[in-house]
Each structure stands twice: as structure tokens, then as C-alpha cells.
A and B are shown apart, each in its own frame.
Chain A
Amino acid sequence: MLKGLSGALCAVSVAGSAWAASGIAIVSNERGNTLTVIGPDLAIVDTMETCARPRGMHFSADRSEFFVGCADDDQIAIYETATRTLLRRITGVPAPETFDLHPDGRRLVVSNEEDAAASVYDVETGELLAEYETGEEPEGVQITPDGRLAFVASEAANLVHVIDLEADAVIADILVDTRPRRFALTPDAAELWVSAELAGVVNIIDVASLKLVGDIAFLPTGFRPEQVTPVDVLITADGSRAYVALGRANHVAVVDVAAREVLDYVLVGKRAWGLALSADESRLFVANGLSDDVTVVDTASLRALTSTPTGLVPYGILIDDR
């Protein structure tokens, strides 16, 4: 029934795309099969059922819709941002983990965790446009702002695959440190940062040469190196600062991007993975997978403001505030 309605609903959403941002944050709860909706005052507004094992999320180009990858349902659910109603689904997507949207607003590049593949879908029609072979357990996906390259991290193979979307081919496989997870690009797209979860570092790849040019190691006070398992990485819009969620080390690292130096560690909840910044970058949201909450950090003082309980195993965060 939902499929039958999708055409009509789609038209509605296009017609009404110029909403004011609500300021809410949406959290996918991987084990709870729910989305937790947190208001601008950091109180819970809503907890809504979604599909099975929701993980990666992304806004559409105009932010009127958002996509939720449902690993155990093999689909991507597409919701209207303003009303949070289900608009349509892209079905038959094998175990989607994370994805990135092409600058054209149409092509969604998805990592298919179980299939050792990255696939490209049209977010309007749900059509499978292309598929590329990766190593086992592909995870992070990052598309360059010019739309030419897509990077996909393969956790099990310790590789970053470079897909040339114009040439329609994998043009390089870059060996990185153990268990690469997520990416961040510097605003000038010159450097690609990739977290290596089990090595406890972030590797830095020069995008022009596709070579490793540096890494940053993390070790908050009181932790052993094997407890430091970085996952999500964010770089601020001005490219000055990076935030790295350190997983089992229960901290977020704050990094000076130019100097490649750790400035500070902020204590958050247990097994911090997902990160999101508010539009003005004053607040950092951190999803804590093993304490079932989201910690909100004030980025000026680098102190946690509060932690808001979520569903079981929060994974990703979207903030509707721009």
C-alpha cells in the first residue's frame, strides 16, 4: 500500500519543499528499530517506529526529505522531514549501512555491508544505477563536492576504495590502518580523513595523489590504546577543527586540522560513534551506542551540556536546523 501511494506523496513533498527548519535532531536506534526525535530544548519530542536495524541517515538535497538505511529490511526508507511521515522506500538494497548523496541530489551511493559492494540508487525512482565491488564490510561513504569521486571504506579488508563515478570504475584501492570506518573531507576537498577503528588513529589521504600523507593517534588519559576505537569524524565548515568519536574510549577528540594535533578530549557516554554538528556549530551531538543516549557538547567550552536518553543502540544523528 505504501508503495502505491508513493507517487502521490512524492509530488506533495516537492510542492512544499520550502519549510522552515524545525531544529529537531533525529537519532536512528540500531537495535530499537526506532527513531528518537529530540527538540531544540534537548527534550524528547517523539519516538517513532521505523524499519529493522536503522543505521545511516542523510537529508535530501533540499532537506525536505531524509533517508534511513534499514540493514535488516534491505531497504532505504524515505521520510518527509517536516511531518516525519514515510514517503516511499527503496527496496532490495542489500543490508545498507551508510550512504552519501551526490551533489546532483539524485544519486545515493550506498555501502552494502553484507555484499561487499557499493551501489548507486536514484533517490527519486529507487532505480539501481550502478554497483561496484568492494572489500568485505564496506561502511563509510564520502562523495567529493565536485561529484566525481566516491570513497568507500572496507572495514574487513583495510581498504579505501576510490570510485570514479564518471568513469564508472574503481580506480584505486588504498591500504589504510586496521578497520577503516568513516570519512570526513576538508572543505577544500584536499584531504580525506578516515578513522581506523582498531588502529586507534585517523589516516589522512591526499585526495589529489590518493596517497596516505599522515595520521593522528588518540589516547585520552586513563585509557589503554586498545580501548581507543575511533569511528565517526566531522570537520567544521571553516576546516579548522575536527571532532572524532573515540568509541570504547568514551570521549570525543577535538583536533586542530591544520596542525593535525589533538586539542582536547571531551567525556561523553559509552561507545561514542555517531556525530552531528548544529548549523551554527555551537553544539555537537554524540550518539553513545552502549549507554543508549545522545550527549550534547557545547563546542565553545568543550563540556557536555546534557545527555538525552534514546532507544536501544543509537547510531546516527540528523539535525534539521538549516
Chain B
Amino acid sequence: MIARLAVLAIALVLALPALAAEPARIVYLGVVDDPAYQPQRVYTGLALKDRHRPVDGARLAVAGTKALARALGIGFVLDERLLAAGGDAAAEVRAARASGALAVLLDLPEQAMAAVLAAEGGEGLLVNIRHVDDRWRGADCAPALLHAMPSRSMLTDALAQHLRFRGWTRVLVLRGPGPENEAEAAAIRRSIGKFGLDLADERAFELTNDPRQRDLGNVALLTGDARYDVIWLADAEGEFGRYVPFATYLPRPVVGSEGLTPVAWHWTLERYGAPQLNQRFRRAAGRDMAAGDWAAWVAVRSIIEAVSQRRTVDRAGIAELVRSGDLALDLYKGVRGSFRPWDGQLRQPILLATHNAVIAIAPFDGFQHQTDTLDTLGIDRPETACRR
């Protein structure tokens, strides 16, 4: 690395300051053989969702800093660390900080995440690029923890705004089994209340052909005997949900896990410079940019932006600026973003997308907020359970 920097510095000696000895270092921390990135097979070996490490997004952000490094005299380095199974995540974060890291991007399973926050969550910068669960922004938040991924409640609020905007107010919720779908359904109920929609009914489904559980497994039966404008699906796995559109009792659109889905990023976004970012990512990573990749990318960009404003790699100063909420970030989603001071969540527009198009972007016109319309999405300051 030192050799590489030296070459850069020599190349840029022309009327420019040589690069400072200490680069701006950002650490990505993941886990070896993380089950979250193993292909999740369903029947007949199909993988319904591509699951890739979001580190590609972080790499892209760092790869784009050459000219900025030339201007600032500060290089940017991404240090990728993978924790062995059973490894001590908190110790790894400590080591990263000892090596001078300005921020650690956390791509960790829940347990490891909790361990890091308990031991190392007090100061510096930790950026969640993976979890949407509101608990990390609420009861389990930490002073050092920021979230580049939108929260679950931001995602459901975005969809609820769309339904309100379209006047599709009567919602039938179909919920799959397990805690993930329970959490999703809870967020959906909250958003339905927040934006004045009507919960026509909430029905649990099971992936089953058992004739004794016909009312749980048959889409037509599940969607009959109710009056509703739209079906909102909570199905994290996707194996049931993919059979819901066009199989409903009434001719109604499906939103949520299938159909129209709220996401942080989509590979078809056509405005706000997004095509350039998507093309750059595709060229670098050989695949389409997904929400996690975008979160990793924007997390690194926030550090880069802070370093370029302060023109230092002073850890405390950078952390203070990023966390302050005063750092305006180019999100490539049309509106500048910043981190909410009360829970560390990145304010951002949410895209409502089908499998191949972005249909709308929340927040919608007409949803007002006293300080920032982006705060109509997710848990606002008065409601936050985060005490930090």
C-alpha cells in the first residue's frame, strides 16, 4: 500500500501537495461463510434472491477517489476484514480503530452486531450497512452507530405514502410465519395507522398443500371474503409470495414483498445521476447494484465527504461532523441526505420499484414535515426509543 501511495504522490508532484503520510482508512467488517450470503435454495434448487456481499459498493466508492486524493493530498483506503466463525467482532473493531480507521462498516449477523455495540458502541463511527430492523435505531441503538440502510419503518412508510397518494386505502395484509415477517407486519400496521389507511384484515399464510389448512395455503381463499383495494405482503423468504400476484380472489395489486417493493436502491433508476452510478457498479462488480451495495457505497461516501470538508483524517472531528446531521450527502436519489442526530439513521428517499422499473419515489408531494420532508419516513425525533 505504501508503495502504491508513493507512486501516486510522485505522479502528482506537479504543483500539488504530496499525499499526507496517513490515508483516510475505512474498514469493512464481515464474517467468513456468512449464511446471509449463501444462496438460499428453494424447491428444485432455485435461488430466488441473489445475495452478495455489499462490500462491492464500498470498493466502488473508494475506487472513485483518485482525483479527490490528488486535490486533498489525502489518500483513501478500504481495509476489508472477514471475521472467522466464532471470532470476536468487538476485538476486530478495536483492532481496526487501533490501525487508524475513521469508520467501520458493519456487515455482521445480529449477535456479532450486538457484541460490537456493547463493547465499542460509545465513540467513533460504526455504520450499519445491512440491517433494516428498527431495534438498532431504537432500544438497541448506540452513540457511535449510524445506519446507511433505511429502517423497516422507513420502507413501510414509503409504501403507505404511495397507497395514500393513489387512494388505495383499504389494505389486506398477508403475513408469513416467523419473527422476520412478524416484525414486518408490525411495521406495516404502524404505517397504515400513520398515514390513515384502513386495515381491511391481516391474515397469516403457510406454505402448505395440507387440505386441513386450506385456508392458510390457498391464495384465492386467503384473499376472498374481504373488501380491499390492495394486498400488502409480508414474506421475507419469498417462496409463498411469488405465487400471490394474479392469483387473488379480487383483481387487486400486490405490494410489499412482491409487486411494488420499497427499496433503498434499484438498478433501473433513471434520474439523479443514478444511471452513471449503476453503470459504474455493473462494470466494477459484474452485477446490478442492490440496496446493500448502495448502502455500503453511501457509507463510504459520507466519510469521504467529511474528510474532504475538514481536509484532515482527525478521527474525532470526522465522527463529529458525520454524526452532526450537518453533512449534506449526494445520494443519487435527487435529494440531499444527512444522518438523523437522534438515532443515526440516514435520511433518504425510498424507491418504490417493480422487478424492472422504479414506479415512484417517496416522500411524495403533499406529505409535510416541520423540518425535513424526508422525516415523514420512519421514526421521527419525538417517537424515537433511542437514548444515546
**Measuring CB to CB, which residues of chain A are less than 8 angstroms from any residue of chain B?**
113-114, 116, 133-137, 154-159, 161, 169-175, 178-179, 198-199, 224, 226, 248
Question: B67–A173 contact, CB under 8 A?
Answer: yes
Complex contacts, B268 vs chain A, CB 8 Å: none
Question: B330–A173 contact, CB under 8 A?
Answer: no
Complex contacts, B373 vs chain A, CB 8 Å: 224
With contact pairs A116-B67, A137-B273, A157-B67 given, residues A178 and B280 touching in the complex (Cβ less than 8 Å): no
28 A-B interface contacts by CB (under 8 A): A114-B279, A114-B283, A116-B66, A133-B66, A134-B67, A135-B64, A136-B67, A136-B276, A136-B280, A137-B276, A156-B273, A156-B276, A156-B330, A157-B64, A157-B71, A159-B67, A159-B71, A161-B67, A169-B14, A171-B14, A172-B15, A172-B16, A174-B71, A175-B71, A178-B330, A179-B330, A198-B336, A199-B328
Contact flags B252-278 to A (C-beta < 8 A → 1, else 0):
000000000000000000000100100
Contact flags B223-240 to A (C-beta < 8 A → 1, else 0):
000000000000000000
With contact pairs A158-B308, A178-B330 given, residues A133 and B67 touching in the complex (Cβ less than 8 Å): yes
A43 CA to B14 CA, complexed, in Å: 53
Complex contacts, A155 vs chain B, CB 8 Å: 273
What's the least CB distance linking A297 to chain B, in Å? Answer: 24
A172: nearest residue on chain B (CB-CB)? B15
Complex contacts, B280 vs chain A, CB 8 Å: 114, 136
A179 CA to B16 CA, complexed, in Å: 23
A199 CA to B335 CA, complexed, in Å: 10
Question: A175–B308 contact, CB under 8 A?
Answer: yes
A322 CA to B152 CA, complexed, in Å: 58
Tell me the count of chain B residues lying within 8 A, CB to CB, of chain A: 23
What's the least CB distance linking B249 to chain A, in Å? Answer: 39
Complex contacts, B71 vs chain A, CB 8 Å: 157, 159, 173-175
B12: nearest residue on chain A (CB-CB)? A170
A114 CA to B275 CA, complexed, in Å: 10
Which of B35-75 touch A at CB < 8 Å? 64-68, 70-72
Complex contacts, A136 vs chain B, CB 8 Å: 64, 67, 276, 280
Which of B52-101 touch A at CB < 8 Å? 64-68, 70-72
Complex contacts, B65 vs chain A, CB 8 Å: 157
B372: nearest residue on chain A (CB-CB)? A226
What's the least CB distance linking B275 to chain A, in Å? Answer: 9
Q: Which residue of the partner chain, among A135, A171, A248, contacts B67 with CB atoms under 8 Å? A: A135
Complex contacts, A114 vs chain B, CB 8 Å: 276, 279-280, 283
A155 CA to B283 CA, complexed, in Å: 19
A173: nearest residue on chain B (CB-CB)? B71
Q: Is B193's CB within 8 Å of the partner chain A?
A: no
Which of B1-33 touch A at CB < 8 Å? 14-16
Complex contacts, A135 vs chain B, CB 8 Å: 64, 66-68
Residue of A158, A159, A198 with most chain B CB atoms under a 10 A cut-off: A198
Question: A178–B308 contact, CB under 8 A?
Answer: no
What's the least CB distance linking B69 to chain A, in Å? Answer: 10
Residue of B66, B68, B334 with most chain A CB atoms under a 10 A cut-off: B68
A156 CA to B15 CA, complexed, in Å: 23
With contact pairs A114-B280, A137-B273, A158-B308 given, residues A171 and B15 touching in the complex (Cβ less than 8 Å): yes
Question: B330–A198 contact, CB under 8 A?
Answer: yes
Question: A116–B64 contact, CB under 8 A?
Answer: yes
Complex contacts, B283 vs chain A, CB 8 Å: 114
With A133-B67, A175-B71, A198-B330 already in contact, 14 other A-B pairs whose C-beta atoms are closer than 8 Å: A114-B280, A116-B67, A133-B66, A135-B67, A136-B64, A159-B67, A170-B14, A173-B70, A174-B71, A175-B72, A179-B273, A198-B336, A199-B328, A226-B335
